[in-house]
Structures are given as C-alpha cells and as structure tokens.
Amino acid sequence: MAKLTRKQLKKDRFVEEVGEAVGIFTTHRNLIIGIAVGVLVLVVAGAAFYRYQQEQDTEARLALQEALGNYYGQVSLNRIPGRVTFATTIAKDEAIRESLTKVSEDFAGRLEGEVARLHLALYEVSDGDLDKGKTMLEGLLDHRNDEVAALARKALADQLQREGKNEEAVPHYQHLVDNPTDMMPRERVELFGLYDALLATDEQKALELVKSIEERDGAGREIAARMRAGLESRLGITTPPMPPPVATPPGS
C-alpha cells in the first residue's frame, strides 16, 4: 500500500474526525472528565447501595430470628436442642421485650420491624397489659402488608373474644373472611374464630356458618360436620348427615 503524503493525510476524513474529536475534548475537557467521573461515582454508589441493602436484609433477618427465638423460648434449667432456654421467667421476659423493641426500632418500615411490632403487641397482651397490646394491634390493622394486617386483626379479634366482647370480635372475623390471605385463609378464620363468636351471640348464624362450610368441598368440611352435629344436639335438632359433594367429571 502506498504511503500517504502529508497533503493527502490532511484530506483524510478519518483523520479530520479524529482531529475534531480531539478538539472537542480539548475544548470541553473538564466537562467530559466531570461526566465520566460522575458516571463512575454512580456505578460505584449503586454497587455499594446494593451491597448495603444485602447486608441490611441479612442483619434484619438475623435480628428478627433471634428476637423470635426469645419469644418462643422456654424456661428450663436444661438445654433443649433447637430451642432458646432461660433460667427464669424474668430473664425470658426481659429478653423478649428488649430484642423485639430493638428490631422494631432498628428496622422500622421494613417487614422485619413490623413483624417484631406485631409480636411485641402479642407479648403485651399475654403479659397482662391488654389495653396497650390491643392499641398496638389496632395500629397494625391498616398495614400495607396484608399478612401483617391480617395477623394483627385475628389476634385482636381473639383477644376481644377472650374478654367476652364477641359482638366486637365478629366484624373483625368477618373482615378476615371477606379478605383472606395465605396465612389467614377463609375456613381457618370461620372455624377457629368466627364460629365461636357467633355461638356466643347468635347460635342460628353459627349453625348456618358450619352448614355452609360443610357444603363446600374444602379441608374444613369434616370439622364443620362435627361442629354442626354438636350444635344441633345441643339445640335439639335432628338432621341427617349431609352427602359428600358430587365430584365434577374430568373434562367437563
């Protein structure tokens, strides 16, 4: 290939473009370097934030795990495999309150912090401070996480029922029936909450409830049948056993 002369080189378009680029860089050197550094900072910051988030996730999860270990721990002088043990009830209560409070404060706004708040409310109720515990549960009823809200509502309804306030408990149970979640499915609430509350306020509605459950082809059908039989016996009602639901033919 023939060697280009300086005159030809001056007319070469590629060289002209390179020259223009160099000129632009020279003119706007500080701006370009600033943009490059800015992009680099964003990349590094993004990686650091991602790493920080992962560390926060791990820290929050481990902190909640430790707090719940205390909550579900046992008072025993002997070591129990897989369980946290305490020498005294006082030691257990102190550990529960301290660890749950710390997680709820350190990770406020995160799911781990809200679960800690829920258990702290349950602890207050079980420890005898009913007003404080119920107020804390009420503060979680509209939580953005449906599961946290459902667990808080179920705990509140159960406590109202224990206090004999069944008429106040029924609307909470009904709300859960109308808005089931994975952890609070419809039949669980109906059988282990709503039925007992209705039994204390309106036996006929309680009977209608278990009959409706029995008519479904669900997991609670047999339990509902036993409840219906017991209630009808108490009310002096004789009803023949309900036939099992007809299975739908395949492909229909």
Torsion angle defined by CA atoms of residues 211, 146, 124 and 106, in that order, rounded to the nearest 10 degrees: 160
Looking at the fold, whether 180 and 108 belong to one and the same domain comes out as no
Per the structure block, which two tokens stand in for 121? 């409310």
Q: What is the pLDDT of residues 128-182, one digit of tens each?
A: 999 999 999 999 999 999 999 999 999 999 999 999 999 999 999 999 999 999 9
18 inside domain: no
Cα–Cα distances (Å) from 50 to 26, 44, 111, in that order, read 36, 10, 18
- Among the candidates 87, 122, 139, a domain finishes at 139
Query: Is the pTM here over 0.75, yes or no?
Result: no
pLDDT tens sequence across 138-148: 999 999 999 99
State whether 123 and 182 are in the same domain: no
The residues, any chain, with a CB within 8 Å of residue 62's CB and separated by 6 or more, are none
Predicted pLDDT of residue 41 = 46
> Is 28 domain-assigned?
no
Residue 146 exposure: Cα atoms within 13 Å on the Cβ side = 10
With CA atoms as reference, report the closest residue to 149 among 186, 103, 188, 111. 111
Residues 71-129: tens digit of each pLDDT = 999 999 888 888 899 999 999 999 999 999 999 999 998 999 999 999 999 999 998 99
Q: Is 150 within a domain?
A: no
- Domain coverage including residue 110: 58-139
Q: Would you call 78 helix, strand, or coil by DSSP?
A: coil
**Looking at the domain assignment, is residue 144 inside a domain?**
no
Among 91, 121, 139, the domain boundary falls at: 139
Count of domains observed in the chain = 2
